Amino acid sequence: MKLAIIVNITREKALELACELTAWLDERSIDYVFDPQSAKALGSDKQEEKTELYRHCDVFVSLGGDGTLLLASHYSQTKPVLGINVGDLGFLTEFSPDEMYTAMNHVLSGNYSIHTRSQLEASFDSGNQPHPMTALNDVIIEKGASSRLPAFVIWLDHEVLGSYRADGIIIATSTGSTAYSMSAGGPIIAPKSNVFVITPICPHMLTVRPIVISDDKTVRISVDSYSGEFPLKMDGVVKKMLHPGEVVCVKKSPQMINLVANEKRSYFEILRKKLLWGHEHPTGE
């Protein structure tokens, strides 16, 4: 087995864990490789380009927060991703640093289970992109530097849903419902729900609200504006600047992401812990 290790190089704790993990792997003669940025930060010559990691590695290990795991998922394709949380919230990175070696032993022995997560795929009506763009969390179109609120025109399949004046529009998976969409007032959606959520960012009208749709729909969005450029982001990374009238098509990707599951933790326990919901039961006394 060969591991691909991706590290949040801005966090000292993540770099320390990477050093500890590689020493542990070396003792057991288990092969591993870093992405170039992680290798440089750690002074290692064991590296491969991110786009080549999935060809030669069996499992991806993410040492960081949810952002680091999202980065790993972009390159893992269908390979399992093990997330060790060195961040803050950590909805996706289910394992704590204290659980790292237990999780690694399960992965190396093949005794682990997988959470499959849906992705979004974005394309353009012009059809001039060489490869589909995918996102595990969300696709976002923002107003950018425009001084006036543009109108975002949205179709579901071939039917117009509406035209919203807003700072932007988020299309999120159930996984991404606890990311930017939640911050913008969108609902929390349980994993594996066969839905997406469309969440407007600071809409001009109070009657505009998030809407949950079936994930077999194709969402088409264009920006109605006289001028300007509008950032299209996939999992927070700007992929393209859209022109007025340019149509983006967003649909469910045929490719799933496979996350190594923490059997000791449920999704609702994560919600209670991360969102401070509490779990006390009233006694009536």
Q: Which residues are catalytic?
A: 66
Helix boundaries (H) for 28-110: 36-42, 50-56, 66-76, 100-109
12-27 vs 100-109: helix crossing angle, rounded to 10? 40
174 Cβ contact list (under 8 Å, min separation 6): 117, 118, 189, 190, 191, 192, 193, 195, 196
3-state SS, one letter per residue, for 128-158: CCCCCEEECCEEEEECCCCCCCCEEEEEECC
DSSP conformation class of 12: H
Cβ atoms of 5 and 63 closer than 8 Å: yes
Cβ atoms of 42 and 58 closer than 8 Å: no
CA angle centred on 240, ends 237 and 242, rounded to 5°: 130
Beginning with the edge strand found earlier in the chain, give each strand of the sheet holding 230-234 in spatial order: 211-214, 195-201, 168-172, 138-142, 230-234, 237-242
Helix (H, G, I), strand (E, B) or coil at 243: coil
